[in-house]
Amino acid sequence: MQHFLSRLNNRYQSAKTFEPKIFQALSSYSFPGNVRELSNIIEQAYMVGKGDMITVDDLPLSINGSQREVAGNSLTGTLEKMEYEMLRSAMENFGSTYKAARSLNMNQSTFVRKMKRLNKKMSDAM
């Protein structure tokens, strides 16, 4: 796990660390996939995480067992909320739409269009 975190820190020139509870949460999760799944989960938590520490709340719901509320009860609403959080977090971490889009492997125009659409949906839901 530290290996994946070190690679991400080098890639994004950051110094994020894991909260100690993360190790317990990940060790109790039965990975149906392989090491690549672990890498993807850590990268997702890295991108979603705010600040310099990755917490259990940054892990996907299927791993952290949290009952956090998501926008709407539908799959579409849940996916939109997750996408919004990833885009917002990338924007917060990188400060520009270009860098945020690049960190998520998408074009800047796609990033901006999605942010506009999701910002409107999230504000309408509240």
Tens digit of each residue's pLDDT (9 = 90 or more) over 56-89: 988 887 776 643 444 445 667 778 888 888 898 8
Instruction: Report pLDDT for 66.
Output: 46
* Predicted TM-score (pTM) above 0.85: no
Q: Which amino acid is at 16?
A: K
Instruction: Report pLDDT for 54.
Output: 94
Q: Cα–Cα distance between 112 and 115 in angstroms, integer?
A: 5
Beta carbons of 16 and 52 less than 8 angstroms apart: yes
**Fold of the 2-64 domain:** Helicase, Ruva Protein; domain 3 (1.10.8)
Low-confidence ranges of the chain (pLDDT < 70): 31-33, 64-75, 125-126
Q: What is the 3-state secondary structure (H, E, C) of the chain?
A: CHHHHHHHHHHHCCCCEECCHHHHHHHCCCCCCCHHHHHHHHHHHHHHCCCCEECHHHCCHHHHCCCCCCCCCCHHHHHHHHHHHHHHHHHHHHCCHHHHHHHCCCCHHHHHHHHHHHHHHHHHHC
Instruction: Report pLDDT for 73.
Output: 52
Instruction: Report pLDDT for 39.
Output: 87
